[in-house]
Chain A
């Protein structure tokens, strides 16, 4: 029992409720949400420290022992993801202060933002399948509001599609929960793991596993990503960055939990399926990333490439690749947030989304240009930066398990990341200035925020040895789910 676990959920929830009052007092709103995010960051650091020293932490809601009540479980994987969620949300919040505009701030932007964090942290920490569904919905409903807030034509149009796809996938999720409940008679994830082991993965359970994976793949954009490029180009930059960093990662987290905890007993079919999906995602995402000249499209397809790469690590599924998945997820959350924030500034600076109309921005915005260059290298996985350790671990795991083709595609996908983003760098920052009429934008505060994120990325790369201590602790639980089950059910 550890009441600290509920705080990553309670703090943004209370902050959001407090923010609903007095929506016209913008400075007050900013201060309250900033303080809420800072406390959230401190609490998630405390949780990571506690899990590091004392092992998996559990909290039984209302004192009901599992499997009867709802439980919260923080193993190292969940704790690290909560920590990077709070870092990303703090950075995006600071970015939003300067860019989001008074109209949106007045119409409950900050409460919706905090509710989104509630849903994300709840999804990471919960140990109950139906509670996971509820946390998903909290996150999604907040994201519907954030994506449409402002009400431009493009936002309205894209929100329609985004909502529709998520309603359908939520319906499928409930149907999968219904089937799983009828077969096993429980909803607690640890208890489900035990019951599924007792049933020796009967055929029906494989069907349910595939159904759950379809649902989570829709949320994560693993192969079923057709909704993503449009939806993620509609809202303002701060919102896009939160979406790209957090929403798809929640889907990936759910896939990891499903594969490692619920259905680890007959992995071949499921793992091979994920491997094929990951390969197709990398190929299609790569094609998308090099095909467009629209900045939104290029960076959105880079999100898809990243998802495919993590899918590859999940499909391999040995200890090295699981460590790699965790490391890369943490890096990817920060790096994608940074990429989208810089992309937003780039579009603002150039006054257009089209790469063909940009050029020579390095003269006016040297710092922005070099930040973009370094984040490109980090995303590709150039050694001193944070993308390298995760990618290396995953590729090593892939070769150890003999998945040569999948590993080769993963390496090639890194080249496509490099090509697509360097093309943006060369097209937008180098060369001749094409639009001389654009004025001088001042990005001082924003550059400080993105620079802070970049320092974290470089620190993650340089301090990989220290971080690996945490990551391998998380990876051990993913490859031996018995540890999780024991910690929850106390056998």
Chain B
């Protein structure tokens, strides 16, 4: 199971990096979200995907899954959600003010 998940994470990283290297701003933002998806799945996978009950004491099971990575992922998800929403609004503002979403045209020292 960990092997399949690792492959999935690898593919997510691959697609994410490919998208981040493109010119279009929206594709870059999509790439960053895929990258964070990959990272969160990696956190889950790295804590071993053993069988066990959900980490709720009311389940009265003999073994539970590791609760720590779930807490870490939850934290990381909200952080990346905040950053992604800021990034999207920034991209909107850049499009309004600079009139382009092409990263090649966003370089340069002149203007202002």
Contacts and interface: CB of A to CB of B under 8 A. Distances in A.
Interface of A: 130, 133-134, 137, 141, 144-145, 148, 151-154, 156-157, 159-160, 163-164, 167-168, 170-171, 174-175, 177-179, 181-182, 187
B54 interface: no
Chain B, interface residues (CB within 8 Å), range: 35 or more
A167 B32 contact: yes
Interface of B: 20, 25, 28, 32, 35-36, 38-40, 42-43, 45-48, 68-69, 72, 75-76, 79-80, 82-83, 86-87, 90-91, 93-94, 97-98, 103, 106-107, 111-112
Interface of B is mostly: helix
Given A148-B90, A167-B36, 14 more contacts: A151-B93, A152-B112, A157-B94, A159-B90, A160-B94, A164-B20, A167-B80, A170-B80, A170-B83, A174-B43, A177-B72, A179-B46, A181-B43, A181-B46
Contacts of B69: 178, 181
A346 B4 CA distance: 59
Contact of A134 (B25, B75, B90): B75
Contact of B43 (A160, A163, A178): A178
Contact of B82 (A141, A174, A177): A141
Contacts of A177: 43, 72
A156 B42 contact: no
B81 to A, nearest CB: 12
A179 B97 CA distance: 42
B46 A137 contact: no
Nearest to A145: B86
Given A137-B79, A151-B97, A153-B97, A160 B46 contact: no
B11 to A, nearest CB: 15
A153 B39 contact: no
A159 B90 CA distance: 8
Contacts of A154: 111-112
Nearest to A172: B39
Contact of A157 (B20, B43, B46, B106): B106
A151 B72 CA distance: 34
Contacts of A157: 94, 98, 106-107
Q: Lowest 6 CB-CB distances: which A-B pairs, in order?
A: A182-B46, A178-B46, A178-B43, A174-B39, A171-B39, A171-B35
Contacts of B32: 164, 167-168, 171
Given A153-B97, A159-B90, A163-B87, A182 B48 contact: yes
A150 to B, nearest CB: 12
Contacts of A130: 72, 75
A186 B3 CA distance: 23
Contacts of B25: 160
Contact of A153 (B20, B83, B91, B112): B112
Contacts of B83: 137, 141, 144, 163, 167, 170
A177 B103 CA distance: 31
A171 B36 contact: yes
Contacts of A168: 20, 32, 35
Contacts of A144: 83, 86
Contacts of B79: 134, 137, 170
Contacts of A137: 79, 83
A163 B86 CA distance: 9
Nearest to B69: A181
Contacts of A156: 90, 93-94, 97-98
Contacts of A182: 46-48
